[in-house]
A and B are shown apart, each in its own frame.
Chain A
Amino acid sequence: MAAESLAPADGLVWKIVKKAGDTVKQGEEIVILESMKMEIPVTAEADGTITRLLVEEGQAVEEDDTIAEVE
């Protein structure tokens, strides 16, 4: 089962911290959004490998959009 990381808020993708194929631990930052002048981290929902990263820097995202999947 892939664990999806969702955008916690509307915003712009400010920084990609990890890339597809990277190993992450639960809670680790994958992407940082910028929303209302705040850096909002999107974190891994499980330990594993990032199988899909669905955004690129500068992209606008909406709350609950899938940002990444970890398996």
Chain B
Amino acid sequence: MTNDKPEIPPEWQEKLAQFEWRRARARELGGARRIRRAHDRGQLTIRERLAKATTSFHEIGEFATYDDVDALGNLRSQMPASYVMGLGTFAGRHVAIGGEDFTVRAGAPQTYLDRMKGGLGGFVEDLAHEYRIPLVMFMEGIGGDIAASGEKGHSYLVSSLSWGRSYELLGEVPVLAMVSGSSAGGTAGRTVLSHFSVMTKDSVFFAGGPPLVERALGKSVDKFELGGAAVATRSGAIDNLATDEDDAIEQMARFLSYLPQNVWQMPPRTPSDDPVDRPIDEILGRIPTSNRRPYKATDIITPIVDVDSFFEIGKHWGKAVTTGLARIDGIPVGIIASNPMHLGGAMDAQAAEKQIRFVDMCSTFHLPLVYFADVPGFMVGPDAERANVVRWGMRAIQSLIEAEVPVVTIQVRKAYGMAVSATSDPDGLSLRIAWPTAEWGDLPVEGGVEAGFAREIEESDDPEAYRAAINENFRNIADPWRTVEAFGVEAMIDPRDTRVMVADFLNASLHRVQTDLGPQQRQWRVRP
């Protein structure tokens, strides 16, 4: 035995040489100059992203080519197609993974190929669909461009391209998207068709960039002002903000760790070394008993879930509710919490929209929900009405009723008005666990008495005294213990027992969850 490589038969040498030459060319992307420009901006190329994110990668369509022609149709050069993709191992999981190559015509759709590689539909999406594996996308492109009609020799109607597969995937497998650089037009559209999206802080995302805005509206806008991370993560278009690409990749890996490969499988439970009966005495110091004092939702979530397991999603928008994934006794769960630091926890249209999207995602992937409710009602006021709070609020109620996963509600403090219906599932078990700080009703006693008995108060001999007496009467009625004694709430517990109790119910609920796998069957087909 020697270490010499076996000799290559002469008839193979030319074939392999051509293979190597073509492969080297494919890996040059759009050329050294364009790659350098990306690096100067602090960005990776698509090949560098794929290499960094995966531990194994088998490329598909490596030799697909884009003919670079000038405005008159003369061939200037050939470049690799503007999308790189394949089968990879990401965060220890088989995934379909790919992304636009911005160095080739700014990642424009590959309508010049017989079959698209990815982006809008394409092979990478078929791979995720057929093998039922997650889809991970690096989004950097400008959508369509005028050069496409030059290649085809005719202009095409955009509606000839189908988005069907991209929508279908949302009900089948986890879809994750990272934005680094510019994501505009069709690329931006494809980005939001995901369960989790993250953008780096110096990226931009928009329907149309500054040149389009200037032409359409005569307004000159800075691209960051138009669609920087501060805009896109506050509008809800993008879920999370990342400091850089490493952080963004890490956040996608973390998100995926709570989800199954597809809707036909259970979410992966991981062994937990955090005992369910760990003392959580600090929780008492974190819930002010005065309902005028706010607290941070995350301060009461973190002691109850497994240590370091809470991963917040959508921190910068719809801030009246906090949403995120976590584990309790190793079981992946969706967490929703009213956030009294914002609008006193009142649910406005944006919070409702955020909650709906989160509940739908958790239900799709069989993640039980734990809801920490402290809601003074739907948000009121001119801004709230203009934002259509009532319709969004009623949709939030619907999504929770339709959710096909167990919902455990911790009744932290306030529960007033219709918005309370958006904190539990009355058509399911509706397990509502109250803390002694809880209070509830149609309306708070103060204000409610004023609205309900205005005339009676006015016509009494001593309106002040009469008002005080009515208030006292209704405060007695509103004592939550009366509701507990009427079994109007399922349990009242010491907050320090919450972790162990919720863990026990979640463990029991898994018998239900694992016999309810598969695509979600929506109860009602129409959202109001």
Q: Do A and B share a complex?
A: yes
**Of the 9-residue stretches B250-258, B342-350, B503-511, which lies at the interface with chain A?**
B342-350
Which residues of chain B come closer than 8 Å to A41, judged between CB atoms? 294
Query: Main secondary structure on chain B at its contact with chain A?
Result: loop
> Within 8 Å CB of A39, what residues of B?
292-294
A35 CB contacts on chain B under 8 angstroms: 343-344
- CB under 8 Å from chain B, chain A span 10-66: 35-41
Known: A37-B376, A39-B292. A9 touches B341 (CB 8 A): yes
Which of A8, A9, A36, A38 lies in contact with B293, CB distance below 8 A? Answer: A38
**B residues near A38, Cβ cutoff 8 Å:** 292-294, 340, 344
Assess the A40–B376 pair: CB atoms within 8 A: no
Q: In the bound complex, how far is the Cα of B416 from the Cα of A37, in angstroms?
A: 14
Cβ–Cβ contact A8 & B344, under 8 A? no
CA–CA, A44 and B425, complex, Å: 40
A25 CB, min distance to chain B CBs, angstroms: 18
Residues from 336 to 374 in B contacting A, C-beta threshold 8 Å = 340-346
How distant is A41 from chain B, measured CB to nearest CB, in Å? 8
**In the complex, what distance in Å separates the CA atom of A41 from the CA atom of B376?**
19
Distance A38 CA – B340 CA, assembled complex (angstroms): 8
Give Cα distance in the complex from A8 to B294, angstroms: 11
Whether A8 pairs with B346 at a CB distance below 8 angstroms is no
* Secondary structure type dominating chain A contacts: strand
How many Å lie between the Cα of A41 and that of B292 in the bound state? 11
Q: How many whole Å from B130's CB to the nearest CB in chain A?
A: 47
Do B341 and A36 touch (CB < 8 A)? Answer: no
Q: A8-B341, A9-B341 are in contact. Are A36 and B346 (CB under 8 A)?
A: yes
CA–CA, A36 to B381, complex, Å?
A: 11
Q: Please, which residues of chain A bring their CB within 8 A of the CB of B294? A: 38-41
- The minimal Cβ–Cβ distance linking A35 to chain B, given in whole angstroms, is 6
| Contact between B292 and A9, CB atoms less than 8 A apart | no
Residues of A within 8 A of B345 (CB): 36
Which residues, 277 to 295 on B, are CB-close (under 8 Å) to A?
A: 292-294
Q: Are the CB atoms of A40 and B341 closer together than 8 Å?
A: yes
Residues of A with C-beta under 8 A to B376:
36-37
Min CB gap A32→B, angstroms: 10
* Cα–Cα, bound, A37→B343 (Å): 9
Complex contact A8–B292 (CB within 8 A): no
Q: Which residue of A lies closest to B446 (CB)?
A: A37
Chain B residues positioned under 8 Å from A9 (CB to CB)? 341-343
How does the 8 Å CB contact mask read for B316-354 relative to A, with 1 for contact and 0 for none? 000000000000000000000000111111100000000
Q: With the chains together, A35 CA to B376 CA distance in Å?
A: 12
| Interchain nearest-CB distance for B153 vs A (Å) | 52
Give the distance in Å from the alpha carbon of A41 to the alpha carbon of B341 in the complex: 9
Nearest-Cβ distance from residue A44 to partner chain B, whole angstroms: 16
**Complex alpha-carbon distance, A6 and B345, angstroms:** 19
Q: How far is the CA of A35 from the CA of B319 in the complex (A)?
A: 14
CA A41 to CA B342, docked complex, whole Å: 12
By a CB distance below 8 angstroms, the chain B residues around A40 are 294, 341
Count chain B CB atoms within 10 A of each CB in A38, A40, A41 and give the residue with the most.
Answer: A38
Nearest residue in B to A40 (C-beta to C-beta)?
B294
Q: List 26 A-B contacts (CB under 8 A).
A: A8-B341, A8-B342, A9-B341, A9-B342, A9-B343, A35-B343, A35-B344, A36-B343, A36-B344, A36-B345, A36-B346, A36-B376, A37-B292, A37-B344, A37-B376, A38-B292, A38-B293, A38-B294, A38-B340, A38-B344, A39-B292, A39-B293, A39-B294, A40-B294, A40-B341, A41-B294
Known A-B contacts: A9-B342, A37-B376, A39-B293. Give 18 more (CB < 8 A).
A8-B341, A8-B342, A9-B341, A9-B343, A35-B344, A36-B344, A36-B345, A36-B346, A37-B292, A37-B344, A38-B292, A38-B293, A38-B294, A38-B340, A39-B292, A39-B294, A40-B294, A41-B294
> Which of A's residues lie within 8 Å of B, judged by CB?
8-9, 35-41
The 6 closest A-B pairs by CB, nearest first: A36-B344, A38-B344, A39-B292, A38-B294, A36-B343, A39-B293
